[in-house]
Amino acid sequence: MTALLPLLLLLTSLVPAAISFFLAQDSYGLRNALNLGGALLKAGLIVAMLFAVAGGAVYETTIPLAPGLVLLLKIDALALLFVSLSAALWLLTTIYAIAYFGTKPQQSRFFGFFSLCVFATTGIALSGSLISFFIFFELLTLSTWPLVSHKQDAASLRAARSYLLYALPCSTLLLVAIVWLESATGPVLFDETPDLDALDRSSQQAIFALFIVGVGMKAAIVPLHGWLPSAMAAPAPVSALLHAVAVVKAGAFGVVRVVYDVFGVARVTDLGVGMPLAVLASATILWGSIRALQQTEIKKRLAYSTVSQVSCIVLGAALASPYAVIGGLAHLVHQGLMKITLFFCAGIYDERAGVRDIAGLDGLGWRMPWTSACFSLGALGMIGLPPLAGFVTKIYLGIGALQAEAAWVLAVLGASTLLNAAYFLPLLARLWFREAAPDARGDERVPALVVPAVVAALAALGAGLLAASPLSPLGWATLITEREYLR
Amino acid sequence: MTALVALLALPLAGALAAVVLPHGAVRGMVPALSVAMLAATAVLVAGLSAQAPTRLKLGQWPPPVGIVLEVDGLAAALIAMTALVMTAAALAALRSEQPAAAGARAAFGFWPLMLLLWAALNAVFVSRDLFNLYVGLELLSLASVGLVAIGGKPEALAAAMRYMLFALVGSLLYLAGVVLVYAAHGTLDIGLLADRTPAKPDALALALMTAGLMAKTALFPFHVWLPPAHGSAPAPASAMLSALVPKASFVILLRLWFEAMPDRAQDGALVLLAVLGTAAVIWGSLRALLQTRLKLVVAYSTVAQIGYLFLVFPLAGGGSAEMPWSAGAWTGVLFLALAHGLAKAAMFLAVGQWMAVTGSDRLDAMRGLATAMPMTSFAFALAAVTLVGLPPSGGFTGKYLLMTSAFAAGQWMWALVLAGGGLLAAAYLYRPLAILFARADAPGPATLPTRGMQAIPLCLAGAAIALGIASETPFELLSIGRPAAAEDGS
Amino acid sequence: MSGVTLYALTGAALVGTGFFGLIAARHLLRRVLAFNLIGSGLFVYLGAAGARGGEADPVPQALIITGIVVALSASALAVGLIVALARARGRAMLPEEDVGG
């Protein structure tokens, strides 16, 4: 029975996806029930497993493919961290999306591919072997395309093409890296670091670089980040999916897997590739913030903010000292919670007030108090205001940098906090301290849009306030680090 | 044993019956025949075991006088793929009005030619005699040329004629090689040839036969006949021609280089074959990028995909034969061949449905069809996933196996060909997909194919994906009777 | 010169002539004839090959007869196509080769 748990987790998304495709547009009830039911079931399964895994249980399923292709699904602590994030956010996003789409057309297609994306993300989280990771990683690329181009207009199609233009070459390089590696070591399983000594040093470095390019594209590491801001053409639930639930998270998670489970900390240090990655991540953090500052559209500013924030996870992985790892892993969850709050709110401003530009936010705070309160909470968390979630991760990253003897990272973190404040505070000032334009509208009459935002904001708040609890994201990240990487 | 006889005799008898029976009776016979063939295929595959490959000595004559038919994993897998593609193409042809619209003569000619093609394919897959292979190959070429010409339009006739000339040159080159082999060894049985005392004319004979088969497989630079021929045939015929026919001559190439004369596989020649394959990948893809007619995009993609198959020669032949990576390369290429067959047939059948709706195969006429015909479009997308080699698909499994063996062999450039070819395929298949998915300017077409009709290409494309998801069973099937030259050396 | 050598040389000459026709002729009918010449040349050579060792070998004879049947069917189809093409285009040549004529 326990061997079936990983499969069951996958099926909770795959079954709704498969059925949704064949539903008629007007079977709203059935489609919503399917998708909500799947999301709830998955959340329930995860809660049921949480304590067992905390106690050291591991669930795994192997599906044999052709020799060399091992499809291994395994639920360990790190997998559960990612999968519980995506499951929780999927549930919220499903509620939000049902309200967002209302009676708009092509919903069966949307929810079909949406669930397929979550299926792929779950697969990425549960992958216990390199090749299963790649299979689900590619599945995610493909199932995201119809979502980004969902509106079927020229801008969406351009955005979707730009996404593939980044994604396919990078994943080809990832495949080359995997094949190169596995031709020397045989199939790579994550629970035992493979012996790479059959390859010479420069080959190992080249493989590492190829890996980082392959997974870093999804994590939007500069200069592979261009697709993310242009993907803003997609509907708001898709943005939430790209920025918080699935895509960039899969990229960051991939970097963690590559550094810790494919190469291992010792080898990364030995090869001298950890520091260059940390520098790259730092550059991304700063560049994303600077670009965010220049944007006048809310969603674009949030998108560049994602570019910047996701690299905090990469930075944590690259520094590879205990505190940095904990900070990075915790930020995987923290950033997801805060960013999804912000995107939910941006979508509500767009839908209910017709506001897309920052200039339109003037005075909206009192008109749409719930939304604006959530937005403010998310933004302050991103800046790193204590005791919010963002603060906790920045502290851990800072200590981790000192442990790794990379004090310059403190300067990067400081600068990024200032920049975050510079691009978020003006928004908050407009919301709460400016007079609204005379013709301004805006209401919060659709609770199904607002409730997910409130829940996500509260979760982000809780993750910061309750950081000391063992089941908080930080506590869980500490557990993973102690169990997996500091053996 | 009975299944094997049925697989050869049923389509031949069916072809003869289709000539004499009235049209309505033929339409009734074809589905029944397809079901019978699928059943026979299932029996054949199930009865195949690693210990005793199914062998049939015609008339109980032993070679060299008699002719031996033998079913190994390779033959069984291709027979199964052929059965699937043929059944799908037959159903599509039954339901679409196209053969009838092209004139009574076309409707009359289609079924006998199709069934002859089926018989010829199966005969080539199981034959172990070079001359018997020649006869099968000729039957195959003649039926194919007939199917290309069946529309009767001037461009179709010209394409058929060009195809005929290439096919004839190919046949003669092959025949010349066969004659040399017989003159030197007094036998044409592949099993006996494997144990022959090497003779001087062997290299020349192998070269002649290879050149002829290259022309028939449409390997670059002998590919020029293929795109116009596959582009002007009716869609169900294009599906069979593109998915199946090049595989037959490729199988003969494999039999020659890995079973009959593996000792003659010089490294230079093997690399030359792979270099031509590489050129085919690049050239076919670039040409596909430039086409404005969807059918030609799909046809040029066949030119490119055939190129991949030739990477097997340096990776599993010659000095690689005893190496641990050769088994992976051999199986990988066969995965690619099977996946390409299923996916390409799905694509042509999908295009056929769009042509029936819009009356054209120009790319810009396809705008917005994804909304009107989602199942067909999804089938095309799945087939594209397979051809690009993305997981989870049979194309990916094949690519992974081949790339791994290329790196293991230290011949990483072939891995780069596969990687780059995948990107090129993504580029030329993205164009039609984006157009299909764009919002239509005009209201959608009035009459649409039924869901059952749309499900036909979807089933084929789904089979190509399933080949990757459930890859263990086909892998084991393909390992049965694998030639010694492609056996895992470790 | 023995009979076998004579056969072989005749076969070679036929193949050579056919090969020349194949390259030189643009008219499709001539090309089909050239194919038949090459095919006949190969069959003659095959017949000669069967006479090795003085003992009559039945296999080449069977092969030749089969081959002739195959070649006949191929020629019939080719000629049929040529007629259809000539009716449709007015000339028995492929469009891309029909220059200056």
Q: Is the pLDDT of residue C71 over 50?
A: yes
**Closest residue by Cα to residue B349 from B461, B194, B245:** B461
The two three-digit tokens of residue A384, written as one number: 């790193």
C31 and B176 within 8 Å at the Cβ level: the answer is no
Say how far residue B143 (Cα) sits from the centre of its chain.
15
**Which residue of B141, B165, B186 is in closest CB contact with C31?**
B165
- For residue B140, what is the nearest residue in chain C, using CA coordinates? C74
Q: Is the pLDDT of residue A39 over 80?
A: yes
Q: Is the pLDDT of residue A143 over 50?
A: yes
**Closest residue by Cα to residue A351 from A239, A190, A253, A473:** A239
Q: Is the pLDDT of residue A136 over 90?
A: yes
Report CA dihedral (C79, C85, C91, C96) to the nearest 10 degrees: -110
Q: How far apart are CA B121 and CA B114, in angstroms?
A: 11
User: Could you tell me whether strands B68-71 and B54-57 are parallel, antiparallel, or unpaired per DSSP bridges?
Assistant: antiparallel
Give 3-state DSSP helix, strand, coil % of chain C, rounded to 5: 80, 0, 20
Summary mean pLDDT of chain A: 89
CB of A277 within 8 A of CB of A404? no
- For residue C53, what is the nearest residue in chain B, using CA coordinates? B186
Rounded percentage of chain C residues whose pLDDT exceeds 90: 45
Q: What would you report as the CA-atom Rg of chain C, rounded to the nearest whole angstrom? A: 17
Residues of B in contact with C16 (CB under 8 A): none
Interface chains of chain C (3 or more CB pairs under 8 Å): B
Q: How many residue contacts between B and C have a Cβ separation below 8 Å? A: 84
**Which residue of A66, A134, A152 is in closest CB contact with B472?**
A66
Residues of A in contact with B412 (CB under 8 A): 180
Q: Is the pLDDT of residue A290 over 50?
A: yes
Q: Is the pLDDT of residue C101 over 50?
A: no
Does A387 lie at the interface with B, CB-CB under 8 angstroms? no
A182 and B401 within 8 Å at the Cβ level: the answer is no
- For residue C31, what is the nearest residue in chain B, using CA coordinates? B165
Average pLDDT over residues A155-182: 93
Residues of B in contact with A69 (CB under 8 A): 397, 400, 471
Q: How far is CA A63 from CA A14, A126, A127, in A?
A: 17, 13, 11
Q: Chain B: give the shortest CA distance to residue A29, in Å.
A: 22
What single-letter amino acid sits at B134? Y
Give me the residue label for tokens 């089938």.
Answer: B379
Q: How far is CA B425 from CA A136, B282, B283, B418, in A?
A: 21, 10, 11, 10
A contact test, residue of B390, B412, B423 with most A CBs within 10 A: B390
Question: In terms of residue numbers, what domain contains C15?
Answer: 3-94
Could you give phi then psi for residue B55, rounded to 5 degrees?
-120, 145
Report the number of distinct structural domains present in chain C.
1
- For residue B137, what is the nearest residue in chain C, using CA coordinates? C70
10 Å CB burial of residue B268 (0-12, 13-18, 19+) is exposed
User: How do residues C17-63 score in pLDDT, each as one tens digit?
Assistant: 999 998 888 889 999 999 999 999 999 988 887 776 666 778 888 88
Helix axes B73-95, B472-479, angle to 10 degrees: 120
- 3-state secondary structure at position A368: coil
**Per-residue model confidence (pLDDT) at position C3:** 75
The two three-digit tokens of residue A99, written as one number: 């309200």
B contact test, residue of C23, C70, C89, C91 with most B CBs within 10 A: C70
B438 and A152 within 8 Å at the Cβ level: the answer is yes
This model of the complex carries an ipTM of: 0.92
SS3 sequence, chain B? CHHHHHHHHHHHHHHHHHHHCCHHHHHHHHHHHHHHHHHHHHHHHHHCCCCCCEEEEHHHCCCCCCCEEEECHHHHHHHHHHHHHHHHHHHHHHHCCHHHHCCHHHHHHHHHHHHHHHHHHHHHHHECEHHHHHHHHHHHHHHHHHHHHCCCCHHHHHHHHHHHHHHHHHHHHHHHHHHHHHHHHCCCEHHHHHCCCCCCCHHHHHHHHHHHHHHHHCCCCCCCCHHHHHHHCCHHHHHHHHHCHHHHHHHHHHHHHHHHCHHHCCHHHHHHHHHHHHHHHHHHHHHHHHCCEHHHHHHHHHHHHHHHHCCHHHHHCHHHHHCCCHHHHHHHHHHHHHHHHHHHHHHHHHHHHHHHHHCCCEHHHHCCHHHHCHHHHHHHHHHHHHHHCCCCCHHHHHHHHHHHHHHHCCCHHHHHHHHHHHHHHHHHHHHHHHHHHCCCCCCCCCCCCCHHHHHHHHHHHHHHHHHHHCCHHHHHHHHCCCCHHHCCCC
Does A68 lie at the interface with B, CB-CB under 8 angstroms? yes
The two three-digit tokens of residue A122, written as one number: 């779950």
A172 and B472 within 8 Å at the Cβ level: the answer is no
Q: How far is CA B466 from CA A134, A143, B92, in A?
A: 17, 17, 21
B401 and A68 within 8 Å at the Cβ level: the answer is yes
In this complex, does chain C touch chain A, defined as having at least 3 beta-carbon pairs under 8 Å apart? no
Interface chains of chain B (3 or more CB pairs under 8 Å): A, C
**Which residue of C32, C66, C94 is in closest CB contact with B162?**
C94
- 3-state secondary structure at position A436: coil
**Per-residue model confidence (pLDDT) at position B99:** 46
Q: How far is CA A465 from CA A179, A336, B328, in A?
A: 45, 16, 54
Average pLDDT over residues A86-110: 88
List the CATH number of the domain containing C89: 1.10.287.3510
C42 and B138 within 8 Å at the Cβ level: the answer is no
C-alpha dihedral sign at B275, B276, B280, B283: positive
**Which residue of B160, B169, B172 is in closest CB contact with C81?**
B160
**Which residue of B391, B420, B438 is in closest CB contact with A135?**
B391
Q: By a Cβ cutoff of 8 Å, what residues of chain B touch chain C? A: 64-65, 131, 134-135, 138-139, 141-142, 145-146, 149, 152-154, 157-158, 160-162, 164-165, 168-169, 171-172, 175-176, 179, 182-183, 186
A179 pLDDT band (50/70/90 cuts)? Answer: very high
State pTM to two decimals: 0.93
- For residue C37, what is the nearest residue in chain B, using CA coordinates? B172
Q: How far apart are CA B14 and CA B380, in angstroms?
A: 31
Residues of B in contact with C57 (CB under 8 A): 186
B179 and C45 within 8 Å at the Cβ level: the answer is yes
Q: Chain B: give the shortest CA distance to residue C49, in Å.
A: 5
**Which residue of B134, B145, B172 is in closest CB contact with C77?**
B145
C28 and B168 within 8 Å at the Cβ level: the answer is no
A175 and B426 within 8 Å at the Cβ level: the answer is no
Interface of C with B in 17-36 (CB under 8 A): 22, 28, 31-32, 35
Does C57 lie at the interface with B, CB-CB under 8 angstroms? yes
B134 and C85 within 8 Å at the Cβ level: the answer is no
Decide if C100 is inside a domain: no
Give me the residue label for tokens 């033929």.
Answer: B26
Decide if C99 is inside a domain: no
Mean pLDDT by 10 residues, chain B (490 residues): 89 93 87 95 85 74 82 93 96 71 64 95 94 94 93 89 93 93 89 87 94 94 92 92 95 93 87 95 96 94 96 84 82 95 96 89 87 90 95 92 91 94 95 89 75 91 93 87 63
The two three-digit tokens of residue A396, written as one number: 């851990």
Decide if C101 is inside a domain: no
User: How do residues A58-85 score in pLDDT, each as one tens digit?
Assistant: 888 888 777 778 888 988 888 888 999 9
Q: Chain B: give the shortest CA distance to residue C42, in Å.
A: 6
